[in-house]
Chains A and B, each alone.
Chain A
């Protein structure tokens, strides 16, 4: 049961990919309507990394790490604020 962490645990790899901290980005869940910061999402680690909505467990992000590339799939509304 306790084999999951939270979005904070992959903050480093997300910075590597997106060039900014993603844990404070708010995601709106299309499944249950909840809005949570990425850092508050549940992280499951298997062959890849999967972030899930902490309210309904809907998949928010899938991340596959290979030696030469990163494959990222998003679900839901990610509101990213960038400096102008």
Chain B
């Protein structure tokens, strides 16, 4: 287990026989209480398909019974039910090519990180741009790893901090807007494959802006998570 932020924890799972996954897929997790009460949630897979362990990054949601267990109570060695990998729509393989434009709102970074990790694991040179929107710097998950992409000429990481910026902040300091998407690129003419993940409102805004900039709606794949999670 690895604490990513004050509210977010990554868990490495020993899944026994695991048939492998694609970057972008999720799993359904089911917890069963001693009295038989069950709760099920979906979590994106954070690790690359090439990784030896299946990793999930779980953000604690207020009153979220499942996320609270994962982020506060789970211990190494605990067991729970897992179904997956699930979903073929929101996936990317190196063979699919690029360029790649990844747009993340908060914890929506998780499945997009799996894509970037997959790209790195396969030594791919596909042009990849990541635009991450978060409220504050200390809420950004995988911070060190994102910083390390600075040495990869094929990856560009842009972070927009919408609520609060540390002094001397060099990144964006506002919500995503057309000028920001143009600056991050690639332009619509380059026909990037686009993956957008985040809360529904964020995804809608990002997708609308991208379409308005001329991107093909069919090239935009989205995964939304809602307030009813937890």
Contact = CB atoms under 8 A, between A and B. Distances in A.
A5 B224 contact: yes
Contacts of B86: 11-12, 15, 21
Contacts of A7: 89
A40 B195 CA distance: 12
Given A5-B225, A9-B224, A40-B222, A23 B83 contact: no
Interface residues of B, number: 22
Contact of B87 (A2, A3, A4, A39): A39
The secondary structure that dominates the A interface is mixed
Interface residues of A, number: 20
B26 A4 contact: no
Contact of B42 (A9, A21, A39): A9
Given A7-B89, A21-B87, A40-B222, A2 B228 contact: no
Interface in A2-28: 2-9, 11-12, 15, 21, 23-24
A12 B200 contact: no
Nearest to A38: B89
Chain B CB within 10 Å, residue with most, of A9, A21, A38, A40: A9
Given A2-B226, A11-B86, A40-B222, 17 more contacts: A1-B201, A2-B200, A3-B227, A4-B224, A6-B224, A8-B87, A9-B42, A9-B224, A11-B87, A12-B83, A12-B84, A15-B83, A21-B87, A23-B87, A39-B87, A39-B89, A40-B221
22 contacts: A2-B226, A4-B200, A4-B224, A4-B226, A6-B222, A8-B87, A8-B223, A8-B224, A9-B42, A11-B26, A12-B86, A15-B83, A21-B86, A21-B87, A23-B87, A37-B89, A38-B89, A39-B88, A39-B89, A39-B221, A40-B89, A45-B228
Interface of B: 26, 28, 42, 83-84, 86-90, 199-201, 204, 221-228
